[in-house]
Structure 1
Amino acid sequence: MNMIEALNDAHDVMMARDPDIVVFGEDIGYFGGVFRVTAGLQKKYGKTRVFDAPIAEGGIVAAGIGMALYGLKPVCEIQFADYIFPGFDQIFSEAGRIRYRTAGEWSVPMVIRTPYGGGIFGGQTHSQSPEAFFAHMPGIKTVIPSNPHDAKGLLIAAIEDPDPVVIFEPKRIYNGPFDGHHDRPVTPWAKDPRAEVPEGHYTVPIGKAAVAREGEAMTVLAYGTMVHVALATAEDNGIDAEVIDLRTIVPVDIETIEASVRKTGRCVIIHEATRTSGFGAELASLVQERCFYHLEAPVVRVTGYDTPYPHSMEWTYFPGPARLGPALKAVLED
């Protein structure tokens, strides 16, 4: 499956198992969503379980919180991550706090899914990467898959989680693994756009990273689309880099990160979001705190720029091999 098909399958598997699951968002019912992630679900499960919502993200999130408190398990889609901010207060002030406000008596078992990042020439209003805002929210788990297998397993785990989970789905790899060897979409997709995804129910644990590539020379921390860029850049430059796919940024798997950096002594962090106060800053701080005496070079970040996402300059903004390659080499030379 590609990631879209894997996410669709996760919905299908869980809706068949649990009648309390409801799915809603803008255009996700009859149309199946802008990216077709929910295609066919309304026809199979009916309009009371899969339905369209008004163009009001605050209302979508608020309704989901109410449903979750009532005993349902809502899966809400925000059409693009850029549109999530009208629901920001509901997520921050309500969804993330109710367990704490009620001393554990109530929880909010809801999932908020949203496509994020660049790669489709969406410009400033369809390409942002706002994950750092949500990583800063207490009570919210934040998940970012890099491949179809993990996307399905993480979504199922999120639906089964008793607390709110936000899943950012990288648009650039929705339809298949990105060929990260190129800075521009010359050959944007690998020859086989699908990956092995088990049938039926399985989970990928929230809060557990994966070692996408083993190595000894340095550690590269990445998530989402940047995992593919990191893998391709290390291969093209002949660098024995260990690539860690975080999969979840909150909770972050600090044990896997620490073990890798202690082994390699060097660390490069890559993410698509803007640099200042991006999640890479938190990762750099954690690495410095945990691995200071093992580091042989400063921790380096390769990120997007501190500007809104530019439409005409998308592939210059996007961190690719042309920027990551020199960073890896410079860290090796320090």
Structure 2
Amino acid sequence: MTDTIRLLRELDAHHFTSGTVIAERLGISRASVSTALAQAEQYGIVLERRSGAGYQLAQAIDWLDSHTIGQYLAKDSVLSISLSNTIESTNRQLIKNPQHGQVLATEWQTGGRGRLGRRWLGALGGSLMFSLAWQFNGGPAQLAGLSLAVGATVAQTLRQLGVEQIGLKWPNDLLIKLNDTGEVAKVGGILIEMQGDALGPAQVVIGIGLNIAFPAHWQSELDQSATSLSHHGLRCGRNELFGRLLSALESGLDTFAQQGFAPFLPQWETLNVWQQQMVNIIAPNGQIQSGTLIGLAPDGSLRLLSTEGEKLIHTGDVSLRRAQ
């Protein structure tokens, strides 16, 4: 089956390209071109078709480019970037053989997922989906708070790029604050997987997904409100965003390796969308604990002030919701 994304790369939004020309360039049949491009709408892409002229993108696609991305990295960066058109999951691919500093990004994920096994939805050219492999000399026990440190690093970078209303929800969601009443919409998430011995070293794969542009009709497929960075102030393209995020993450992970979560804790609490608000902690069995979210413990546990006093909530499989 011909890769639809491969064919979409042959098109642009400024002029028509005939199916015959595409077929000759790629060494495939004209029928294969027609069949593959008929699937474009499944990727959220609208094509203009004109008899005798061919195909044209209704809107340009901002494809990822490793050279442009690399311009935002330090000269002594240890990061190595690989790009893919389509992959099941960047995390699953990297965790097979994680190499320190390896970055894998894709234009489209067929099996992307978030925390608790939730499906990740992305838009071709409108999402940033990547994974970063990193090795820590200590064992997994020394990595408490890592996902929170990553979240703080990503959110702070987004603020610097114009997304002033970006915030964090414990333990790993990136949200946009819609108003002063506590309403939020999800714009990204973080999924961390690790392997290694108890005493180290630990190999970690950090998966990050961000909505840069989000088709409105996808909202019906989600169990929570979602939005996009482009609707909330992002003032750069995908490649610059990716490059600046990688640069910040490389620096942040070095800091975490040396000092742990402590340097990130004040920043995380500043970005916490429900700091000092009433929340519900929902366990897998449906049991609910309610209280005021008063911040984080040094290990990244959630501090919940209930009628029974302060409690520490560890990540586990719980869900966090604002009390209505």
TM-score (normalizing by structure 1): 0.29
| TM, length-normalised to structure 2 | 0.30
Task: Point out the structure with the larger strand share.
Answer: 2
